[in-house]
Chain A
């Protein structure tokens, strides 16, 4: 079956750096997405990786290793507003999005 694993919850300190990991096993691969979802709101798009390597976008970076079925989202200079759930999703060979359960990130002052 298809599976995406992320940690359920992480805690970090304001101003610090945090890395959220995602491992996947899917039928084919057509890209990996990271979304941010604040409580009670819909997800918002953060990043897309289809080739191996690091994609940097401001304070957020996303890394992909297709051979390892692994990605991470790196958040720098954490702010209180970064407290949210972070969802990893993989597009499979049928272009279906397979979603992880999300990682709840708690930022402490």
Chain B
């Protein structure tokens, strides 16, 4: 089946530093990748949608200058949390799909647990 690799699995950083999270599709070309954020006991919250070679589309309320997304190739997207603060601590999950159509499921990475101290 389709495999999405996300790295790192967890990261602890100091307030004010930046953290980069990578998301790779290992056995398919991901034309579209999605970045989600999930707080404990809450649902997935879509942060942004990125298509290869174009700028990401951010959801309302998500600061694009704080959460930088790059989708430079069909197999790699990165999310950089810039100047991280404790309130950015969360579980970040990427997902990818080869095509956005009715029955194409999202394939998820294993997530990155970010803790900002």
Is B54 close to A, CB under 8 A? Answer: no
* CB-contacts of A79-109 with B (<8 A): 87, 91, 95-97, 99-102, 104
Query: In the assembled complex, which residues on chain A have CB atoms less than 8 Å from the CB atom of B95?
Result: 42
Is B100 close to A, CB under 8 A? Answer: yes
Is B101 close to A, CB under 8 A? Answer: yes
Given the interface pairs A99-B43, A101-B43, the reply to whether A30 lies near B102 with Cβ below 8 Å is yes
Query: In the assembled complex, which residues on chain B have CB atoms less than 8 Å from the CB atom of A91?
Result: 102
Q: What is the predominant secondary structure among interface residues of chain B facing chain A?
A: loop
Query: In the assembled complex, which residues on chain B have CB atoms less than 8 Å from the CB atom of A45?
Result: 105-107
Q: How far is the CA of A91 from the CA of B106 in the complex (A)?
A: 11
Q: How far is the CA of A104 from the CA of B41 in the complex (A)?
A: 9
B106 & A31 in contact (Cβ 8 Å cutoff) = no
Query: In the assembled complex, which residues on chain B have CB atoms less than 8 Å from the CB atom of A97?
Result: 46, 106
A50 & B102 in contact (Cβ 8 Å cutoff) = yes
A100 & B43 in contact (Cβ 8 Å cutoff) = yes
Closest approach, in angstroms, between the C-beta of B90 and any C-beta of chain A? 13
B113 & A40 in contact (Cβ 8 Å cutoff) = yes
Point out the residue from A30, A42, A48 that lies within 8 Å of B93, measured CB to CB.
A42
Point out the residue from A44, A50, A95, A102 that lies within 8 Å of B43, measured CB to CB.
A102
Q: How far is the CA of A99 from the CA of B110 in the complex (A)?
A: 18
Q: How far is the CA of A43 from the CA of B111 in the complex (A)?
A: 9
Interface string of A11-48 (1 = CB under 8 A from B): 00000000000000000001101000000111111001
Considering only CB atoms, which chain B residue lies closest to A101 in the complex?
B43
A50 & B44 in contact (Cβ 8 Å cutoff) = no
Task: List the interface of chain A (C-beta within 8 A of B).
Answer: 30-31, 33, 40-45, 48, 50, 87, 91, 95-97, 99-102, 104
Q: Apart from A43-B93, A95-B101, A100-B43, what 15 extra A-B contacts exist at CB < 8 Å?
A: A30-B102, A31-B102, A33-B106, A42-B6, A42-B110, A44-B108, A48-B105, A50-B102, A50-B103, A87-B43, A87-B44, A91-B102, A95-B100, A95-B102, A99-B43
